[in-house]
Amino acid sequence: MNKLIKTFVIIAVIIIAFFIMGPLYVVNEGEQAVIVQFGRITNVVTEAGLHIKIPFIDEVVKYPKRILSWNGEQRGIPTLERQYIVVDITARWRIVDPQIFYESINTINRAYDILGEVINSEVRTVVAQNYFRESVRSTNFILGREQVEDLGALDIDVEQITASIQNEVRHEPVNRGRRSLSEEILNRSRVMTPVYGIELIDVVTRQIRYSDELTESVYARMIRERNQIAQAIRSEGEGRRANIYGEMERDQVTIMSSAELEAQSIRAAADAEATRIYTNAHNLDAGRRSFYLFWRALESYRLTMPAFDLALSTDLDYFRFLYSVDGR
């Protein structure tokens, strides 16, 4: 009985020691591993789960299986015309062959260094082979239609003002553009990464900005271009205003001429009517004619007498109705 117990104890100790030595390891989702025996790779594990290794002999080196990001440092790079710009690049990559990755690079930190060397080298090469405008612009169309749409409220021809602005602001044409340069950097960098077991997914230009030396001159040029655009818009507005004022003056002359002609016609008709009334008054019989003359004299007195400050004599024909109703 004691011998059987001793046997069980020995077996239990062996089992416990076996597990203490760590014969099992876990590969999580998003991970992959290489099994190394004395510096030599014996197995590559890409499936998640629980796996067995030889204790004290097998070394498990795990690498991420997911997509990783690489962020470059901002660097001043000269363009083809020797103008320095600051370029900020980011990239996405992943380990596609853990065996090659282990044999060539071994660590993730070293991979970041290698990617930095490869991508930065290609960025310097591509930027230096192209003009400044190719790195910062993607199109030859500087001013979009949407920037002058508000002019429609002023009854200004949008197509005409856009064409005028494009003629005012002259830019050197872009043959490739920023997007094309990013694609070239990616393609050139991809050639170098497979030897490290790495797949480079994309390279994106996160930011391109002017160096401190260029900033002031660029701002001055931008101000000059905006002034040219403003001048083109003002010129169009001045032309439209001149046309509107010209039409207004022509309409004013036409209206004034028509009004003056109508006024003269009304005055002529009034004068004719007054002459007719005077003629008819003179043709009245003696009694009615005397009353008419008396009434007119009273109306005249009413208007003129308040203005008399001094009268030296009233022995005038004008004052005859002051002494007699019939004016005799």
**CATH number of the domain enclosing 88:** 3.30.479.30
In this prediction, residue 73 carries a pLDDT of: 82
Cross-strand bridge partners of residue 205: 89
Number of domains in the chain: 3
In a domain, 21, yes or no: yes
In a domain, 275, yes or no: no
User: What mean pLDDT is predicted for residues 107-114?
Assistant: 92
Q: Are 52 and 27 in contact (CB under 8 A)?
A: no
Question: Which of 166-180, 189-203, 273-287 is the most confident on average?
Answer: 189-203
- Determine the distance from the C-alpha atom of residue 274 to the mean position of all C-alpha atoms in its chain, rounded to a whole number: 74
Q: What are phi and psi of 78, to 5 degrees?
A: -80, 140
Regarding whether 200 and 84 lie in a shared domain, the answer is yes
Residue with more model confidence, 175 or 283: 175
In a domain, 199, yes or no: yes
In this prediction, residue 304 carries a pLDDT of: 78
Q: Is the pLDDT of residue 283 over 60?
A: yes
Question: Percent of the chain at pLDDT above 90?
Answer: 14
DSSP E strands in 134-259: the ranges are: 198-210
Q: Are 76 and 84 in contact (CB under 8 A)?
A: yes
In a domain, 261, yes or no: no
Q: In the chain, count of helices (H) and strands (E)?
A: 8, 9
Residue with more model confidence, 30 or 324: 30
In a domain, 279, yes or no: no
Regarding whether 21 and 78 lie in a shared domain, the answer is no
DSSP sequence for 8-54: HHHHHHHHHHHHHT--EEEE-TTEEEEEEETTEEEEEE-S-EEEE--
Q: Is the pLDDT of residue 213 over 70?
A: no
In this prediction, residue 288 carries a pLDDT of: 64
Phi-psi category of residue 56: left, alpha or beta, with phi > 0 → left and psi -120 to 50 → alpha: left
Range of the domain at 58: 2-63
In this prediction, residue 239 carries a pLDDT of: 85
Over its C-alpha atoms, the chain yields an Rg (Å, rounded) of 52
Question: Percent of the chain at pLDDT above 70?
Answer: 73
Tallying the residues shown for the chain, one arrives at 328
Q: Is the pLDDT of residue 79 over 50?
A: yes
- Report pLDDT digits (tens) over 53-78: 777 787 888 899 999 999 988 778 88
Regarding whether 51 and 16 lie in a shared domain, the answer is yes
In a domain, 244, yes or no: no
In this prediction, residue 149 carries a pLDDT of: 47
Regarding whether 200 and 119 lie in a shared domain, the answer is yes
DSSP sequence for 172-186: PPPSS-HHHHHHHHH
Q: How far apart are CA 89 and CA 73, in angstroms?
A: 7
What is the average pLDDT value for the chain, to the nearest integer? Answer: 78
Determine which of 88-97, 98-107, 118-127, 314-323 has the lowest per-residue pLDDT on average: 314-323
Q: Is the pLDDT of residue 94 over 90?
A: yes
Taking CA atoms, 250 is separated from 96, 97, 239, 262, in Å, by: 81, 85, 17, 18
Show the CA angle centred on residue 231, arms to residues 230 and 232, nearest 5°. 90
User: What mean pLDDT is predicted for residues 314-320?
Assistant: 69
Q: Is the pLDDT of residue 168 over 90?
A: no
Confidence class for position 146, pLDDT limits 50, 70, 90: very low
Q: Are 164 and 236 in contact (CB under 8 A)?
A: yes
- What would the two tokens of residue 130 be? 């192209």
Q: Is the pLDDT of residue 87 over 80?
A: yes
Confidence class for position 220, pLDDT limits 50, 70, 90: confident
In this prediction, residue 92 carries a pLDDT of: 94
Q: Is the pLDDT of residue 198 over 90?
A: yes
Regarding whether 297 and 182 lie in a shared domain, the answer is no
Regarding whether 123 and 38 lie in a shared domain, the answer is no
In this prediction, residue 148 carries a pLDDT of: 47
Q: Is the pLDDT of residue 109 over 80?
A: yes
